[in-house]
Structure 1
Amino acid sequence: MTILVAKHNLTGIWNFTNPGMVSHNEILEMYRGCVDPKFTWKNFTLEEQAKVIVAARSNNELDTTKLKNEFPELLPVKESLIEYVFQPNQKTRAS
């Protein structure tokens, strides 16, 4: 994407990220659904989390309007994760 932006001589501020948002649990669920159906996890409570991080968490969604207008084929983040991360790593029945 960055090469295409440069080749098209596009300038300004660009948020190079897929549109949309995805949570930690959603990513783990995708992993379980595509790669390892036996995978389990346990979430931190907010109190446990506060003991191991220095600053409070902040969840943000970047504006991808400019990128999406220029590259309409850009997949939303969840679809992109499934197609390019999880599906290529699916376990076959033989493994």
Structure 2
Amino acid sequence: KAYTAYKRVGQKIHPVLGVYPEDAKVNRTFPTDLLDSLPELPSQPPDFIPTERLTEERITSMEVNKDNFLWPEEEKLFKHILRLNESALAFEEQD
């Protein structure tokens, strides 16, 4: 079954033979190791220090370790990573 509208011969699009220009080609390069660009994480993360955007109230409203699934060090590491990437977080409509 064909799910396209019937086209008359004058409406059909026919490809034209030609050479594809070299400057129009897309060169794709992939990094050898994607993990090279990531920063090293500390084995003992520092205590959470509130900032202007990432306040203590916002951290508690996230309920990071609500079910006590994470160890205390893992919770500190999560908060540390949030602090490193706080510019990517949006808490208000204007952010």
- Classify the TM-score, shorter chain: under 0.3
- In the superposition, the TM-score normalised over structure 2's length comes to 0.24
Whichever structure has more helix as a proportion of its residues is 1
Larger Rg computed on CA atoms:
2
**Relative contact order higher in (CA < 8 Å, ≥ 6 apart):** 1
